[in-house]
């Protein structure tokens, strides 16, 4: 059974009931079952690779197949392989310490599948942000219901066909639809929800989940600062910033949102930025590897952010502009620097999610730390410079989901690192053992030994209990 539009709340509830019944009535999945599911998923991803690249490009207006291969397919395959390789270790019972008075008992933690996991995903990486959570949930032995974004209908269609052709619906099902379907979906009594999307919608999801006390992983957005240490506005730094900012047309949750550059380096930063853009995208916004903005709404929003600051006197540098008669690509904006913009401007208050990089200058690391700490805790923070005292201070005194040093985006590809935000940028994490554990119930089990000291502490209390207490408290008998 695959559920397609229009879908009613009762349809979704039926799918959930069916998955839960299957989870409860069938044999608990063992390592071989899980590896088999991961293997099938991996093969399906590769089978649909070409179709997927075309679907994503159709959804965006234009996205290069290479970008989809690298940022969606490769990430997914790498994550599946990592889960496969580490599954035995992840599933292993975890022996825990037993206090002296409880010996010879045994204590351990067993990581049990939670049951049915609901996965809700956004449009910007519509495939990988649906399939990596799915792989994690399957590795942890769960059933899964997926709710991909309505803004990428071609990709969602590929996901639906891929899943239907690979898994029976009592194992994995796909529900399609927009905010209304999402609202009903998030109100279902799942055993866990993993939501990836915006912070405002994340709040709604948390409210809906609270009715059933469903535990949540929230992967949200925000403004990720990028700090360039004095003397580090080099070609290498700017190549990395341009890669992080312009991949997927800037529509990346962990893209550098704004840059903080030492005041003495501003000129070099701008020159190197323009040079990097020219190397990566020689035909500017008409380059074949430059991704379009997802829809008119976001295109107009981004243009509005720039127009808003144009009138405020900030310096706007649009790079790679082509003559008006150059063949235009649908909904592309030139890579744009906005230099020394005021903090009140909309562009410094909302997540940009496009190829625009505000640049502010600073004098001391203290100023940078105060600036970051005066704002909501970001999903990612990037630092370019030596691993020196300033770097140490920045790391110790700011809190962000993750940190990249001398790189952007690459922490997402480190499968062994937990990935997630903190506070307004998210809650909980996936990837790494943390991902496996977030979709498992850590069940603590204590097995009583034949004899232990606490068995002497039972009524009626008398001399034996006093003696036992004396030993346990290592004190004199108060009586």
| Beta pairing partners, 227 | 260, 383
Between 71 and 91, whose beta carbon lies closer to ligand NAD? 71
Which string of x and - marks every residue 70-109 that binds ligand NAD (by CB under 6 A)?
----------------------------------------
Q: Which of 72, 170, 253, 351 is catalytic?
A: 253
Residue with tokens 């997540």: 351
Q: Which range of residues in 46-54, 161-169, 179-187, 324-332 is near ligand NAD by CB under 6 A?
A: 179-187
* Site for ligand NAD, residues 105 to 124, rule: CB under 6 A: 120-124
Residue with tokens 């040093």: 405
Reading phi first (left if > 0) and then psi (alpha if -120 to 50, else beta), residue 95 is in beta
* Site for ligand NAD, residues 239 to 278, rule: CB under 6 A: 253
Query: Counting contacts by CB under 6 A, is residue 187 touching ligand NAD?
Result: no
CA angle 255, 259, 264 (to 5 degrees): 155
CB 352 to ligand NAD: min, Å: 10
Between 218 and 242, whose beta carbon lies closer to ligand NAD? 218
CA distance linking residue 93 with residue 107, whole number of Å = 10
- 313: closest CA among 338, 283, 285? 338
Between 252 and 319, whose beta carbon lies closer to ligand NAD? 252
Query: Counting contacts by CB under 6 A, is residue 351 touching ligand NAD?
Result: yes
CA distance linking residue 51 with residue 154, whole number of Å = 10
Q: Which range of residues in 62-70, 86-94, 175-183, 226-234 is near ligand NAD by CB under 6 A?
A: 175-183
Among 15, 220, 348, 391, binds ligand NAD (CB under 6 A): 220
On whether the CB atoms of residues 150 and 26 are closer than 8 A, the answer is: no
The total of other beta-carbon atoms located within 10 Å of residue 457's CB is: 13
Structure letter (DSSP) for residue 376:
P
Query: Counting contacts by CB under 6 A, is residue 379 touching ligand NAD?
Result: yes
Q: Which range of residues in 198-206, 384-392, 436-444, 452-460 is near ligand NAD by CB under 6 A?
A: 198-206
Among 147, 360, 377, 437, binds ligand NAD (CB under 6 A): 147
Structure tokens at 57: 């490009």
Would residue 110 show up in a list of annotated catalytic residues for this protein? no
Count of residues engaged in binding ligand NAD, rule: CB under 6 A: 27
Going from the C-alpha of 64 to that of each of 61, 158, 432, 439, 461, the distances in angstroms are 10, 17, 29, 33, 77
CB 475 to ligand NAD: min, Å: 52
* Site for ligand NAD, residues 273 to 312, rule: CB under 6 A: none
CB 461 to ligand NAD: min, Å: 56
Sheet-wide strand order for 192-196: 172-174, 143-147, 116-120, 192-196, 216-219, 426-427
Among 28, 178, 282, 444, binds ligand NAD (CB under 6 A): 178
Among 169, 421, 428, 435, binds ligand NAD (CB under 6 A): 421
Structure tokens at 416: 């062994």
Q: Which of 67, 170, 171, 219 is catalytic?
A: 219
Query: Counting contacts by CB under 6 A, is residue 219 touching ligand NAD?
Result: yes
Would residue 219 show up in a list of annotated catalytic residues for this protein? yes
Going from the C-alpha of 231 to that of each of 225, 265, 267, 368, the distances in angstroms are 18, 7, 12, 16
Buried b (16+ CB within 10 A) or exposed e, 240-259: bbbbbbbbbbbbbbbbbbbb
Which residues are the active-site residues?
219, 253
Residues that bind ligand NAD (CB under 6 A): 120-124, 129, 147, 149-150, 178-179, 182-183, 186, 196-198, 201, 204, 219-221, 253, 351, 379, 421, 426
């Amino acid at each position: 059974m695959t559920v397609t539009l229009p879908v009613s709340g009762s349809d979704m509830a039926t799918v959930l009931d069916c998955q839960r019944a299957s989870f409860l009535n069938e044999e608990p999945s063992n390592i071989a079952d899980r590896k088999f599911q991961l293997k099938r998923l991996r093969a399906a991803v590769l089978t649909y690779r070409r179709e997927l690249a075309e679907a994503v490009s159709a959804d965006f207006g234009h996205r290069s197949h290479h970008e989809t291969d690298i940022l969606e397919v490769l990430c997914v395959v790498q994550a599946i392989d990592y889960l496969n390789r580490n599954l035995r270790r992840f599933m292993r019972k975890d022996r825990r310490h037993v206090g002296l008075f409880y010996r010879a008992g045994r204590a351990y933690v067993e990581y049990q599948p939670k049951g049915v996991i609901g996965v809700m995903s956004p449009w910007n990486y519509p495939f990988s942000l649906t399939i990596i959570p799915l792989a994690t949930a399957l590795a942890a032995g769960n059933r899964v219901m997926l709710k991909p974004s309505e803004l990428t209908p071609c990709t969602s269609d590929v996901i639906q066909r891929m899943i239907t052709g690979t898994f029976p619906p009592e194992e994995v099902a796909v529900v399609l639809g927009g905010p209304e379907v999402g609202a009903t979906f998030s109100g279902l009594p799942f055993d866990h929800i993993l939501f990836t999307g915006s912070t405002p919608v994340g709040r709604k999801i948390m409210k809906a989940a609270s009715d059933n006390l469903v535990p949540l992983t929230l992967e949200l957005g925000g403004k990720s600062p990028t700090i360039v240490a004095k003397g580090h506005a080099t070609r290498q730094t700017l190549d990395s910033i341009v890669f992080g900012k312009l991949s997927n047309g800037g529509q990346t949750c962990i893209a550098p949102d704004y840059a903080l550059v030492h005041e003495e380096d501003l000129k070099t930063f701008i020159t190197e930025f323009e040079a990097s853009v020219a190397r990566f995208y020689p035909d500017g916004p008409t380059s074949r590897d430059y991704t379009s903005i997802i829809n008119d709404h976001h295109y107009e929003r981004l243009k509005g952010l720039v127009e808003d600051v144009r009138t405020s006197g900030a310096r706007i540098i649009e790079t790679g502009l082509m003559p008006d008669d150059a063949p235009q690509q649908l909904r592309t904006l030139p890579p744009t620097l906005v230099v020394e913009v005021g903090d009140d401007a909309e562009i410094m208050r909302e997540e940009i999610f496009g190829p625009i990089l505000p640049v502010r200058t600073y004098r001391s690391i203290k100023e940078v730390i105060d600036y970051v700490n005066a704002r909501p805790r970001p999903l990612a923070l990037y630092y370019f410079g030596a691993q020196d005292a300033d770097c140490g201070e920045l790391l110790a005194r700011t809190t962000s989901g993750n940190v990249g040093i001398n790189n952007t985006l690459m922490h997402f590809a480190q499968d062994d690192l937990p990935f997630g935000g903190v506070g307004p940028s998210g809650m909980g994490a996936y990837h790494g053992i943390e991902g496996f554990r977030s979709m498992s119930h850590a069940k603590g089990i204590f097995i009583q030994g034949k004899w232990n000291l606490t068995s002497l502490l039972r009524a009626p209390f008398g001399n034996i209990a006093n003696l036992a207490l004396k030993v346990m408290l290592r004190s004199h008998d108060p009586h």
